[in-house]
Chain A
């Protein structure tokens, strides 16, 4: 398996623009997680899905952020409009079972909002 795939790897955009990050989880994994990593706050969970259904989105910072999982092999995280404080590395991870299984992380998308 190719592991968790994220695109793009790097994104530079201007404030106010819409940004869409994409993730393909490992085939057969039932859980998908979106994280954000910054120097100040470390790694934070934004939202996670189980069988394509959002379970906990309490980490989504505000209404500018939205996430979807239309099928078992694809998820998107959208920021609209983007702001400089959204600059961070965004990771997608997947796991087969949440409790006992480890999470497998993608390589991340480094987002810079100018």
Chain B
């Protein structure tokens, strides 16, 4: 059974800092991995989707990497801003018709 772990559960950094959020998964046979953002009281918003054949994806100040063999992904946020404060969840999909398995998320607080 696939398990997705995100540690730590919470992180607080000063504005402007570059930071890395980690995600690990137990079964390396994945189809894709996605990073989502969730603001308080809101639904999830997709940030980046990495197919199993890819190593990384970039969108603006965000860069997500994938290392299937080690069961790890990282989300890099450059020059963090208070508006980046949210919970970040990663999710893996085992196959094209499989469900997403989510981690519990990392709650990020960026202090002005």
Contacts and interface: CB of A to CB of B under 8 A. Distances in A.
A80 B42 CA distance: 26
B100 A103 contact: yes
A100 B51 CA distance: 8
Interface in B2-54: 31-32, 34, 36, 41-46, 49, 51
Interface residues of A, number: 21
Contacts of A91: 43-44
Nearest to B97: A98
Contacts of A108: 41-43
A100 B42 CA distance: 24
A55 B94 CA distance: 16
Interface of B: 31-32, 34, 36, 41-46, 49, 51, 89, 93, 95-97, 99-100, 102-105
